[in-house]
């Protein structure tokens, strides 16, 4: 007789991560210019995927504001996307006001941008280099979260800041750099 053992949280999390990799079809990535942030030429765009109901998205808003304040005058654009049908324009606006986000926030209800950039959780960032016309980074903002529900007191790696600094210094990898973002999964079935 076969006994069925309950799965642990870590096992379920790994299954969800693997499942999300197959649910978000990878497409050829092309630059996107919204009306609210059209950066071209010698510039960088940070696409930030958020969910107004995700506690981890809420946690990162001060860091995102700090990064925007530091870099927006240095040819680095920021645009926030909300890939959830429940994030209505009114809720997105209220989220931006409540967390004092100064960069443009837009809905991505059909997940076109999330699919295009290969993003699977919120918060997650994708960084587009307009110099080389390619995606140079996709992943976490920093390593504050070890897993959902477990946060470090002090992050040790500031991945997004390091990518931006490297780009501003004219350095960087020829390959797409990626880290695993920890957060709320984007549903590609709704």
Q: Tell which wins on pLDDT, 91 or 9.
A: 91
* DSSP secondary structure string for all residues of 114-144: HHHHT--EESEEEEEETTTTEEEEEE-S-S-
Report in angstroms the alpha-carbon separations of 187 from 55, 122, 145, 158. 17, 11, 21, 27
Report which DSSP code applies to 97: H
Residue 21 has pLDDT above 70, yes or no: no
Q: What is the pLDDT of residues 56-86, one digit of tens each?
A: 999 999 999 999 999 999 999 999 999 999 9
User: What's the pLDDT score for residue 14?
Assistant: 47
Residue 10 has pLDDT above 60, yes or no: no
> Taking the domains of the chain in order of start, what are their residue ranges?
42-185
Q: What is the pLDDT of residues 97-128, one digit of tens each?
A: 999 999 999 999 999 999 999 999 999 999 99
Q: Tell which wins on pLDDT, 13 or 157.
A: 157
Q: What is the pLDDT of residues 31-62, one digit of tens each?
A: 434 444 444 567 899 999 999 999 999 999 99
Residue 169 has pLDDT above 90, yes or no: yes
Task: Please say whether the structural domain 42-185 has been given the CATH code 3.40.30.10.
Answer: yes
User: What's the pLDDT score for residue 148?
Assistant: 87
pLDDT band, very low/low/confident/very high, at 185 (cuts 50, 70, 90): very high
Alpha-carbon distance of 149 to 152, in angstroms, equals: 10
Question: In this structure, are residues 101 and 95 in contact, taking their beta carbons and an 8 Å threshold?
Answer: yes
pLDDT band, very low/low/confident/very high, at 157 (cuts 50, 70, 90): very high
């Amino acid at each position: 007789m076969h006994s069925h053992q309950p799965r642990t949280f870590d096992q379920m999390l790994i299954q969800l991560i693997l499942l999300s990799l197959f649910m978000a079809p990878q497409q050829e990535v092309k630059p996107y210019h919204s009306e609210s942030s059209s950066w071209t030429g010698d510039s960088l765009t940070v696409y930030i995927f958020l969910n107004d109901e995700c506690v981890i998205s809420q946690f990162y808003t001060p860091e995102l504001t700090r990064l925007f304040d530091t870099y927006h005058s240095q040819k680095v654009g920021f645009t926030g996307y909300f890939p959830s049908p429940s994030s209505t324009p009114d809720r997105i606006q209220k989220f931006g006001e409540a967390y004092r986000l100064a960069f443009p926030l837009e809905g991505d209800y059909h997940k076109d941008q999330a699919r295009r950039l290969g993003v699977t959780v919120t918060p997650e960032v994708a960084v587009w280099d307009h110099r080389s016309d390619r995606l140079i980074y996709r992943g976490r903002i920093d390593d504050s979260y070890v897993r959902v529900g477990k946060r470090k007191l002090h992050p040790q790696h500031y991945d997004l800041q390091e990518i931006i600094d490297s780009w501003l210094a004219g350095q960087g990898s020829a390959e797409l750099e990626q880290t695993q973002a920890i957060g709320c999964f984007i549903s590609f079935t709704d």
